[in-house]
Structure 1
Amino acid sequence: MQSFYKKILAIVLSATTLTTSAQEHNVSAGYQKPTDPQVLENLETWQDMKFGLFMHWGTYSQWGIVESWSLCPEDEGWTQRKPEHGETYFEYVKNYENLQKTFNPTDFNPQKWADAAKAAGMKYVVFTTKHHDGFAMFDTKESDYKITSPNTPFSKNPKADVTKEIFSTFRSEGFKIGAYFSKPDWHTEYYWWPYFPPKDRNVNYDPLKYPERWEKYKTFTYNQLNELTSNYGKVDILWLDGGWVRPFKTIDQTVEWQRTIKVEQDIDMDKIGSMARRNQPGIIVVDRTVPGEWENYVTPEQAIPEHPLDIPWESCITMGNSFSYVPNDKYKSAQKIVETLVKIISRGGNYLMNIAPGPNGDFDQAAYDRLKELASWVAINESAIYSTRAVAPYHEGDYYYTRSKDHKTLNVFHLSEGKDYQKTEAFQFTIPENFTPKDVKLLGYKGKVKWTKTGNTVSVKAPKSDLNYASVLQLTSK
């Protein structure tokens, strides 16, 4: 494990935390760099992409509630059940599962999503094929609790296998494809056995005491992941959520939510990961929060590390306040999204921004508005965003830095956080000692800019321009 990474683990994650502790995920210790050349190549390309689309979508969108978590007794404090959805817990679960019988998102049009995401500069997509509630948004043969079941009205639609439609559509637009999959499944009797009531997010029986039942769960999980990596074309990322399903020996007792894991929940990731790589050579596997061979990049949630990480990482952050669809959600401004993107890439990470489709199968118009607003800024500044890496000094005051992979170009972003973007009369910033600029330009401005260099400080007279959200100065070296 790299010594720099050890230090980073002690740093509290910054940025606006929008979820409760039940959903927060710590960056796990012990990153293990992959050795497979195809995986390394895939990771390198993925790190070049910088900006991705995350989508949480399921039957729960009909109630406009948080995804899955209201089924979990431990999380009642922040996912309180509404009386009209059931007076008792068991009545609530029955009504929640019956949402399958009314799920009919007839406005589903993945091309509309792909067009908007592509215009906004997104390069990869991660879709929730199955969340913790166990409802499969793909055509699994392991369960009837799925969107393609005759019990689901949308099954009669020619686009009923929404995972297939999303993957094929985004793939045709040049996106890398990521399959989110929940390792825990609160619907199947092999994880939450009806013989016992569920107490928390974990398996509700002891797998060591009932090994035959746990073995059936392992087979169930393996088979579903085999389907996803065999039947849905090229899949670049297998994004596994539910880090409490893990070998007991990997529990980090310093992490509060991991201390709630009381039993062994090893699902044999070596077998799963090897199968996924046979089906999809070079696939990136993200076994969230479980350090080792199968956590190929780390995933801080609703937060940005305060300092650069020298390992592959991605912040998954919502455009609104919720990962799932909530009526009248408050969406972040385009300026806030740009500021978040700049911070993340200046620290070496990727930004996976979540937009939740509603029960009709479409985004809110506000989400499309934000994507359209982003599009013009990204188009002007794309050379400073993609295929870049972090570079010291990373961040000083209102300035954030990236560099080209060949070290010949330095990009300096100027922000003015907490208010509408304030155009300055002059830019003044530090550059790395070993970087000697021969040219400076302001992206989006066609004329030449006046600049001087004194020691390691560059001063640029700001021309009149109509730039929004952030300015980007691009320096090329001699």
Structure 2
Amino acid sequence: MPVRQNSKKLFFLPLLISSALFSQAHNVSDGYQKPEDPLVIRNLEEWQDLKFGLFMHWGTYSQWGIVESWSLCPEDESWTRRNPEHGKSYYEYVKNYENLQSTFNPTQFDPQKWADAVKKAGMKYVVFTTKHHDGFAMFNTRESDYKITSSKTPFSKNPKADVTKEIFNTFRKEGFKIGAYFSKPDWHSDEYWWSYFPPKDRNVNYDPTKYPEKWNRFKKFTFSQLNEITSNYGKIDILWLDGGWVRPFRTIDPKVEWQRTIKVEQDIDMDKIGNMARKNQPGIIIVDRTVPGKWENYVTPEQAVPEHALSIPWESCITMGDSFSYVPNDHYKSSQKIIETLIKIISRGGNYLMNIAPGPGGDFDAIVYDRLKEISGWMEINQSAVFATRTLPPYHEGDLYYTQSKDGNTINIFHLDEKPEYQAPAGLSFLLPEKWTPKSLTVLGVSSKIQWERKGNRIYVKLPEERATLKYATVIRIRR
């Protein structure tokens, strides 16, 4: 199944997809354009060193514990279904959904607590949802009163009411790169879903070529909000634009199922937006998701990992739980599974953007902090094999995954067994990359001397009893 950019609560998506399907969904083979701006190139290189980031979907919808925004969409899909307790008719439901603004008061909000926990777990950048498809702004926009800082929102009286400002300032102070998620479609805006017509699906509900003045007002509205984010919130490193159906009609790929649902022109003028963002934030990475060209600086498989290494910058956005938005009693992935996924991603040249959803009170579930603490213990020992590394053929052999240092003088071989609880084997054998003459071999987290030998193009390693202390994965380091 190809990556679906239309939903973020896809329990049924596999965590591995073929490179062919990945290319089809993201136009990798013929659409990626390497940036020419030297500041953007440098920022991308730095971003590729970071490997592990935090994604946060948070909004008024957390109060109902539902899929973010999508229940407003009049499509018959599993992720758009509405609870009749929240409104018997569609319009009653929308009214009640939008009225969640009047009860949103996340008084437990403490971004320093989040930053401390995820930093110890090795995360080095953050992407926060400043506005999702529902149009509710989690920042202090002047363009709409549908926002967290509105007097209609109880949390507006809190000194930390502009949560985007608080999150960005806090994480930036801790050394994180800062990413602003922003939805191009806005289902609250009368310039996108015009109240004269009922909404038909996720797309604009009128023909922009027939009503150009209305569409131009929406373009101006979108430009103004993005200008606010890139002007008023300090240094922004990544502008992460979602809602890929808002795109020039000529860019639609008919081979991609969800893109075939786009019936009208929805050109938002990305050149104007991108040039403005780069003027406000020189070197900013812009991610116009699924729209190939100069403004998709890296590609973003969702809830999926390509099977093979890719030669372009990419990032998998994957949830820690089952959902991108907060759901009570969500099923969170084990630390074992999270670390296995991280290793697979970095061995194929990608970054892992792991989503954790704050609840209605403004904090993560307690189990999230348990997971982050467990991950931090593994990172303390093995972080040198994770960060600032690059791919290395053969990339992957059986249960073994390879990375190398950027200077090419160190190889890291990760062993996984993908059982519920990892047990390091007594011995390992792996293929030595071409033109490599190893001078030393160590196992991270093991102080004992390691017995090893080379036979032809293979290395044979005997692990000591101390291997029993290793958790989640064994990491072998070779230097030449």
> Same fold by TM (over 0.5)?
yes
Secondary structure in structure 2 of the residue aligned to 1:315: strand
Q: What does residue 436 of structure 1 align with?
A: 437
For 1:229-268, what aligned pairs fall within 5 Å after superposition? Answer: 229-268=230-269
For 1:59-74, what aligned pairs fall within 5 Å after superposition? Answer: 59-74=60-75
Deviation (angstroms), 1:419? 3.0
Question: Which amino acid counterpart does residue 326 of structure 2 have in structure 1?
Answer: Y
Q: What does residue 28 of structure 1 align with?
A: 27
Structure 2: gaps of 5 or more residues: 4-8
For 1:36-435, what aligned pairs fall within 5 Å after superposition? Answer: 36-435=37-436
Alignment partners' CA distance in 2, 1:436 and 1:277? 45
For 1:57-98, what per-residue CA distance to the aligned partner results, in whole angstroms no more than 9, with x for missing partners?
000000000000000011443332111100000000000000
Structure 1: gaps of 5 or more residues: 1-10
CA contact (8 A) 2:26 2:292 kept: no
Question: Which amino acid counterpart does residue 478 of structure 2 have in structure 1?
Answer: L
For 1:70-127, what per-residue CA distance to the aligned partner results, in whole angstroms no more than 9, with x for missing partners?
0001144333211110000000000000000000000000000000000000000000
Question: Which amino acid counterpart does residue 182 of structure 2 have in structure 1?
Answer: F
For 1:238-260, what per-residue CA distance to the aligned partner results, in whole angstroms no more than 9, with x for missing partners?
00000000000000000000000
Secondary structure in structure 1 of the residue aligned to 2:371: helix
Q: Which runs of 4+ in 1 moved over 4 A?
A: none
Secondary structure in structure 2 of the residue aligned to 1:73: coil
Deviation (angstroms), 1:152? 0.2
Q: Does 1:457 align with 2:442?
A: no
Question: Which amino acid counterpart does residue 476 of structure 1 have in structure 2?
Answer: R
Alignment partners' CA distance in 2, 1:45 and 1:246? 28
Deviation (angstroms), 1:458? 0.5
Aligned residues: 463
CA contact (8 A) 1:12 1:305 kept: no
For 1:397-449, what per-residue CA distance to the aligned partner results, in whole angstroms no more than 9, with x for missing partners?
11000001111000000000133112201011111121111000000112221
Alignment partners' CA distance in 2, 1:418 and 1:226? 48
Question: Which amino acid counterpart does residue 28 of structure 1 have in structure 2?
Answer: N
**The one of 455, 475, 479 aligned to 1:476:** 479
Question: Which amino acid counterpart does residue 313 of structure 1 have in structure 2?
Answer: W
Alignment partners' CA distance in 1, 2:419 and 2:75? 36
Alignment partners' CA distance in 2, 1:118 and 1:223? 33
For 1:124-146, what per-residue CA distance to the aligned partner results, in whole angstroms no more than 9, with x for missing partners?
00000000000000000000000
Alignment partners' CA distance in 2, 1:200 and 1:292? 26
Alignment partners' CA distance in 2, 1:78 and 1:476? 49
Question: Which amino acid counterpart does residue 27 of structure 1 have in structure 2?
Answer: H
Deviation (angstroms), 1:28? 2.6
Percent identity (aligned): 73
Deviation (angstroms), 1:273? 0.2
CA contact (8 A) 1:206 1:263 kept: yes
CA contact (8 A) 2:336 2:420 kept: no
Alignment partners' CA distance in 1, 2:11 and 2:297? 24
Secondary structure in structure 2 of the residue aligned to 1:128: strand
Q: What does residue 6 of structure 2 align with?
A: none
Alignment partners' CA distance in 1, 2:157 and 2:116? 26
Secondary structure in structure 1 of the residue aligned to 2:185: coil
Q: What does residue 7 of structure 1 align with?
A: none
Deviation (angstroms), 1:27? 2.1
CA contact (8 A) 1:308 1:348 kept: yes
Question: Which amino acid counterpart does residue 267 of structure 2 have in structure 1?
Answer: D
Secondary structure in structure 2 of the residue aligned to 1:87: coil
Secondary structure in structure 2 of the residue aligned to 1:343: helix
Q: What does residue 5 of structure 1 align with?
A: none
Alignment partners' CA distance in 2, 1:300 and 1:433? 31
Question: Which amino acid counterpart does residue 39 of structure 1 have in structure 2?
Answer: V
Q: Compared with structure 1, are the counterparts of its residues 12 and 268 closer, same or farther at alpha carbon in structure 2 (3 Å cutoff)? A: closer
Secondary structure in structure 1 of the residue aligned to 2:306: coil
CA contact (8 A) 1:69 1:75 kept: no
Question: Which amino acid counterpart does residue 394 of structure 1 have in structure 2?
Answer: Y
Alignment partners' CA distance in 1, 2:398 and 2:12? 30
Alignment partners' CA distance in 2, 1:230 and 1:93? 32
For 1:163-206, what per-residue CA distance to the aligned partner results, in whole angstroms no more than 9, with x for missing partners?
00000000000000000000000000000000011111000000
Alignment partners' CA distance in 2, 1:419 and 1:152? 44
CA contact (8 A) 1:20 1:78 kept: no
CA contact (8 A) 2:391 2:402 kept: yes
Alignment partners' CA distance in 2, 1:84 and 1:166? 33
Q: Which moved more, 1:427-436 or 1:235-244?
A: 427-436
For 1:337-396, what per-residue CA distance to the aligned partner results, in whole angstroms no more than 9, with x for missing partners?
000000000000000000000000000001111000000101100110000001111111
Alignment partners' CA distance in 1, 2:205 and 2:419? 46
Alignment partners' CA distance in 1, 2:175 and 2:335? 24
Alignment partners' CA distance in 2, 1:154 and 1:75? 34
Alignment partners' CA distance in 2, 1:18 and 1:464? 42
Alignment partners' CA distance in 2, 1:350 and 1:312? 8
Deviation (angstroms), 1:222? 0.1
Alignment partners' CA distance in 1, 2:282 and 2:79? 40
Secondary structure in structure 1 of the residue aligned to 2:343: helix
Alignment partners' CA distance in 2, 1:286 and 1:240? 6
Secondary structure in structure 1 of the residue aligned to 2:439: strand
Question: Which amino acid counterpart does residue 211 of structure 1 have in structure 2?
Answer: P
Q: Does 1:467 align with 2:467?
A: no
Alignment partners' CA distance in 2, 1:208 and 1:96? 31
CA contact (8 A) 2:74 2:80 kept: no
What RMSD in Å do the two structures reach over aligned CA positions?
Answer: 1.5
Alignment partners' CA distance in 2, 1:148 and 1:20? 36
Alignment partners' CA distance in 2, 1:401 and 1:296? 25
